[in-house]
Every structure is written in structure tokens, then in C-alpha cells.
């Protein structure tokens, strides 16, 4: 009994601190962001709303492709495939993605992020190299000049203080729709 009562007391105190106080603290910090912790919502050409911080599927040749998703772009089930780099099933998936990318973008370099899923399976961004590898296909499919499409890509490069440059695919494709075609 001598050790059980203090252990229960400590457990209850830590539960309050780690569950209640920590959650309220995070919610408070979220209120300081521009979206008040709700995620950035943007509207597409069709008037439909999308969350810019959740990866979206773009299969059409007239759009920039997103990173593959291990969870079929389902935000309720975020997670990776948990398959290692030597897993035969994983290697087949990646090889199929490489073949699909080559078919859509002949002659383009194949950046790793365009054929491998992110850890969450919901990454909304691609590398600048992945976007540049798709410029020719997009320009051809939309009957736009490569320079016009490249300028749009360059306009969408996010240059964070820390970390690599990246491009939000949803925002890029919405602006691409604004160009028409």
C-alpha cells in the first residue's frame, strides 16, 4: 500500500499533464496560425473546396502528378506501407510507378519522390525536380508553351528556411487551371 497510493497519484497527475494540459497547449498554439488549426482550405475551378495540406490524387495527363500514397489519399488512415526497400512487393510497386512515369514523361529524369510514397501517405508536396520533370507533358497536353508552364512552376516553389524546396501540387494544379486549356 505504501507504494501503490503514490503510484496512482503520480499516474493521475501525469495523465492530466500529458493528456489535458498538453492538448490544450497545442490547441492554443494552433489558434495562432492563419487557419486557426483547421488546415488551409482552397477552392478549385469547379467551386469545390480542398485542403491544401493533404495530398490529392491527380491522374490526368493535364495535371502535375502528386506523390504516390500508401493509403490511397485517405486522410482518415494516414500511414506508410511499412514495406522495406528489399520487400519484393514494394519493389514491384515502385517499378510499376517508374514505368508509368516514363510512359507519361518520356525522356524525363525520375526523381525518387514521384515514385515513392511519403511516411504519412498524404504528402501534398513534390520536389522542384519532380515538377520540372513533368513540364513538357503538361505543356504538350494543355497546348501551352513550356516557358509558361515552367514560370508557373517557378512561381510555386516554397523556399523554407530549413529543409528542401518544395511545391504544393494542389495549388500548382489550381493555378494551372486558371491558365485554361
Cell of 12: 493521475
Burial classification of residue 178, based on how many CB atoms lie within 10 Å of its CB (0-12 exposed, 13-18 middle, 19 or more buried): exposed
58: nearest Cα among 68, 48, 71: 68
pLDDT tens-digit profile, the chain (181 residues): 889 999 999 999 999 999 999 999 988 888 887 777 777 788 777 778 888 888 888 989 999 999 998 888 888 878 777 888 889 999 999 999 999 999 999 999 999 999 998 888 788 999 999 999 999 999 999 999 999 999 999 999 999 999 999 999 999 999 999 887 6
Q: Are residues 56 and 102 in the same domain?
A: yes
Question: Is residue 47 left, alpha or beta, with left meaning phi > 0 and alpha meaning psi from -120 to 50?
Answer: left
Q: Are residues 113 and 157 in the same domain?
A: yes
Q: Are residues 102 and 74 in the same domain?
A: yes
Structural domain including 166 reads 40-179
Q: Are residues 72 and 153 in the same domain?
A: yes
Amino acid at each position: 500500500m505504501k507504494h501503490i497510493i503514490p503510484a496512482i497519484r503520480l499516474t493521475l497527475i501525469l495523465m492530466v499533464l500529458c493528456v489535458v494540459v498538453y492538448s490544450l497547449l497545442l490547441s492554443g498554439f494552433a489558434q495562432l496560425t492563419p487557419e486557426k488549426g483547421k488546415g488551409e482550405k482552397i477552392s478549385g475551378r469547379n467551386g469545390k473546396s480542398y485542403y491544401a495540406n493533404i495530398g490529392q490524387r491527380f491522374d490526368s495527363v493535364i495535371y502535375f502528378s502528386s506523390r504516390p500514397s500508401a493509403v490511397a489519399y485517405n486522410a482518415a488512415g494516414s500511414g506508410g506501407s511499412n514495406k522495406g526497400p528489399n520487400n519484393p512487393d514494394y519493389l514491384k510497386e515502385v517499378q510499376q510507378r517508374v514505368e508509368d512515369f516514363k510512359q507519361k514523361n518520356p525522356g524525363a529524369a525520375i526523381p525518387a519522390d514521384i515514385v515513392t510514397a511519403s511516411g504519412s501517405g498524404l504528402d501534398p508536396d513534390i520536389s522542384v525536380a519532380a515538377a520540372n520533370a513533368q513540364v513538357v507533358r503538361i505543356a504538350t497536353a494543355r497546348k501551352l508553351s513550356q516557358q509558361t508552364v515552367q514560370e508557373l512552376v517557378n512561381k510555386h516553389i516554397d523556399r523554407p528556411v530549413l529543409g528542401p524546396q518544395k511545391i504544393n501540387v494542389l495549388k500548382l494544379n489550381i493555378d494551372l487551371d486558371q491558365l485554361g486549356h
